[in-house]
């Protein structure tokens, strides 16, 4: 199978897994949001920074290193597996005993038991990192899709039942932990790889040399990115944090899920391209256009329709999140844009440079959070948006230089998409003005249909290359039946 067919098949199955699981999780959130309160979501959000940092520390950049290494031995994989598991057990033990301190910091006694339960995801995650990396390295995305969807169905159903039975925040916690546990179990069932009882410090050293910069970058990124949740939870009410986190999650479900599909598939494929040909620039150029072809109109739609979207999806009590959602949609779009160029650094082995840019980005974000946190949550997000714009420029300019892809070329490639998106958005806004007094359940479908029709026509009129590429991919999928 050609790399193009592998890419299409990878995007398809990763899309089914990520988007499918995201959609199911999104449906679950819609149901739970009508039963649970914003403070329930805010309470669980308080623990996010601890879980995310721990999982980042466990990975240590090893999964990317394994994916990159096409000749990883059984000794290499086993060593990484046991190293990750050891780190996970140490982290969980530390957080288990730190649970009372976390509860005191937030003035929430329930966090003692809740955190000890939620932090189990750290151990479950560590047990499946190698299986996931092996699947990705071999461009096997179908098992990952099946695992994600199956796990979210079972975990989501369980959490839904618990929510209606009055378990409150424990329903959300159970969904999180059970999902991680089931993914671990299913990945072991699908994968034929098993660890050998052998640990080579030489193997760990080899991968750690590649991953150490990614580890530091990941820790800094995740800490600062989630620091606002920690500080908002301390400075404001849990309800305020719930509104903030729900808006960010909605953006994550729609924008960042789509971006992660592209990133997850393109890294192993472009790593192969880098080793067998000189087509790296062309590969990134096409990936950027295809990604932005979907992301730009979707983000603008969320900006325009944020209030009605939240009303329809989560109910009227969540409308206060709309002011945050508008800004998070723009932030999410910029992140999806520069995330494509992050893969450039990985493929050309410039992890040190990637670390430097990440440190600059997160220092700016940290200063922004410290300065603006007490003013208001909305002003804080405006500050984060400004930092994201600067970050997008740095990643794009420097990453583009490595593949000789200039800012002027990027602007020319994206101009038809941007212009078509704004034209379609203008008609969506006009539609809202016309149907302003009607129910949001009627307005949203009309606006969505308007966006799709006007955007498609406008892209066709301007002979948008990305639209032709999307059509070609669909045709390739139908013609060759590569999903089989």
Predicted confidence (pLDDT) at residue 272 exceeds the cutoff of 60 = no
The DSSP letter of residue 253 is I
Q: What is the pLDDT of residue 273?
A: 52
Look up residue 245 and give its two tokens: 């986190």
Q: What is the pLDDT of residue 120?
A: 92
Q: What is the mean pLDDT of the segment spanning 388-400?
A: 90
Q: What is the mean pLDDT of the segment spanning 322-349?
A: 82
Q: What is the pLDDT of residue 190?
A: 84
The DSSP letter of residue 460 is H
* % pLDDT > 70, the chain: 75
Q: What is the pLDDT of residue 255?
A: 60
Q: What is the pLDDT of residues 177-232, one digit of tens each?
A: 999 899 899 988 888 888 888 878 777 777 776 666 666 666 666 776 667 777 77
Are 231 and 373 in contact, with CB atoms under 8 Å apart? Answer: yes
* % pLDDT > 90, the chain: 10
Packing angle between helix 201-235 and helix 48-59, nearest 10 degrees?
170
Count Cβ atoms below 10 Å from residue 378 Cβ, excluding itself. 14
Query: Phi and psi dihedrals of 463, rounded to 5?
Result: 55, 50
Count Cβ atoms below 10 Å from residue 240 Cβ, excluding itself. 18
Q: What is the pLDDT of residue 45?
A: 75
Q: What is the C-alpha separation between 315 and 243, in angstroms, rounded?
A: 12
Q: What is the mean pLDDT of the segment spanning 63-86?
A: 77
Q: What is the mean pLDDT of the segment spanning 267-294?
A: 67
Q: What is the C-alpha separation between 151 and 138, in angstroms, rounded?
A: 22
Q: What is the mean pLDDT of the segment spanning 26-35?
A: 71
Q: What is the pLDDT of residues 353-383, one digit of tens each?
A: 887 888 888 888 888 888 888 888 888 889 9
289 or 45: whose pLDDT is higher? 289
Mean pLDDT over the full length of the chain? 78
76 or 4: whose pLDDT is higher? 76
- Residue 9's pLDDT band, with cuts at 50, 70 and 90, is low
Q: What is the pLDDT of residue 141?
A: 66
Q: What is the pLDDT of residue 100?
A: 92
Give 3-state DSSP helix, strand, coil % of the chain, rounded to 5.
Answer: 85, 0, 15
* Overall residue count recorded for the chain in this entry: 484
The DSSP letter of residue 199 is -
Q: What is the pLDDT of residues 105-143, one digit of tens each?
A: 888 888 899 999 999 988 898 888 888 777 777 666 677
Q: String of b and e for 444-461 (b: at least 16 CB within 10 Å)?
A: beebeebbeebbeebbee
Q: What is the mean pLDDT of the segment spanning 413-432?
A: 90
Q: What is the pLDDT of residue 259?
A: 60
327 or 33: whose pLDDT is higher? 327
Residues 421, 426, 429, 433, Cα dihedral to 10°: -160
Predicted confidence (pLDDT) at residue 61 exceeds the cutoff of 70 = no
Q: What is the mean pLDDT of the segment spanning 228-245?
A: 72
Give SS3 for 231. Answer: helix
pTM of the model: 0.64
329 or 259: whose pLDDT is higher? 329
Q: Is the dihedral of CA 27, 33, 38, 41 positive or negative?
A: negative
Nearest of 482, 427, 424 to residue 458 by alpha carbon: 424
Predicted confidence (pLDDT) at residue 473 exceeds the cutoff of 70 = no
- Residue 277's pLDDT band, with cuts at 50, 70 and 90, is very low
Predicted confidence (pLDDT) at residue 400 exceeds the cutoff of 70 = yes
Q: What is the C-alpha separation between 434 and 365, in angstroms, rounded?
A: 40
Q: What is the pLDDT of residue 3?
A: 46
CB-count exposure of residue 441 (10 Å: 0-12, 13-18, 19+): exposed
């Amino acid at each position: 199978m050609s790399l193009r067919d592998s890419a299409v098949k990878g995007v398809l199955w990763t899309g089914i897994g990520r988007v499918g699981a995201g959609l199911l999780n999104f449906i679950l959130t819609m149901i739970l949001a009508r039963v649970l309160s914003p403070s329930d979501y805010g309470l669980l959000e308080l623990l996010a920074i601890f879980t995310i940092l721990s999982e980042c520390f466990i990975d240590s950049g090893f999964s990317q290193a394994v994916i990159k290494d096409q000749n990883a031995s059984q000794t290499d994989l086993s060593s990484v597996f046991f190293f990750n598991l050891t780190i996970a057990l140490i982290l969980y033990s530390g957080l288990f005993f730190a649970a009372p301190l976390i509860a005191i910091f937030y003035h929430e006694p329930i966090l003692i038991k809740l955190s000890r339960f939620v932090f189990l995801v750290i151990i479950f995650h560590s047990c499946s990192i190698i299986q996931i990396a092996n699947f990705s390295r071999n461009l096997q995305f179908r098992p990952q899709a099946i695992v994600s969807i199956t796990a979210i169905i079972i975990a989501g159903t369980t959490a839904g039942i618990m929510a209606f039975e009055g378990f409150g925040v424990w329903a959300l916690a159970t969904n999180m932990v059970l999902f991680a546990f089931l993914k671990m179990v299913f990945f072991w069932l699908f994968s034929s790889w098993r660890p050998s009882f052998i640990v080579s410090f030489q193997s760990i050293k080899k991968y750690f040399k590649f991953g150490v910069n990614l580890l530091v970058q990941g820790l800094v990124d995740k800490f600062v990115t989630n620091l606002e949740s920690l500080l908002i939870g301390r400075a404001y009410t849990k309800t305020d944090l719930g509104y903030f986190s729900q808006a960010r999650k909605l953006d994550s479900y729609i924008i960042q899920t789509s971006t992660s599909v592209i990133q997850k598939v393109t890294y192993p494929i472009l790593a192969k391209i880098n080793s067998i040909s000189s087509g790296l620039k062309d590969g990134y150029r096409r990936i950027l256009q295809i990604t932005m072809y979907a992301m730009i109109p979707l983000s603008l739609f969320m900006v325009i329709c944020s209030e009605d979207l939240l009303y329809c999806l989560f109910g009227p009590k969540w409308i206060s999140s709309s002011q945050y959602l508008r800004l998070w949609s723009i932030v999410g779009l910029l992140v999806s844009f520069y995330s494509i160029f992050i893969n450039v650094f990985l493929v050309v082995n410039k992890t040190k440079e990637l670390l430097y840019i990440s440190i600059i980005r997160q220092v700016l974000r940290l200063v922004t959070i410290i300065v603006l946190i007490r003013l208001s949550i909305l002003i804080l997000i405006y500050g984060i948006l400004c930092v994201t714009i600067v970050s997008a420029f740095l990643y794009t300019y420097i990453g583009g230089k490595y593949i000789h892809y200039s800012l002027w070329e990027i602007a020319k490639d994206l101009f038809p998409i941007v212009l078509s998106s704004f034209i379609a958005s203008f008609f969506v806004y006009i539609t809202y003005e016309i149907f302003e007094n009607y129910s949001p359940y009627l307005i949203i479908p009309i606006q969505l249909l308007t966006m799709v029709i006007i955007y498609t026509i406008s892209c066709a009129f301007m002979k948008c290359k990305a639209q032709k590429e999307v059509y070609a991919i669909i045709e390739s999928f139908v013609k060759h039946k590569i999903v089989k």
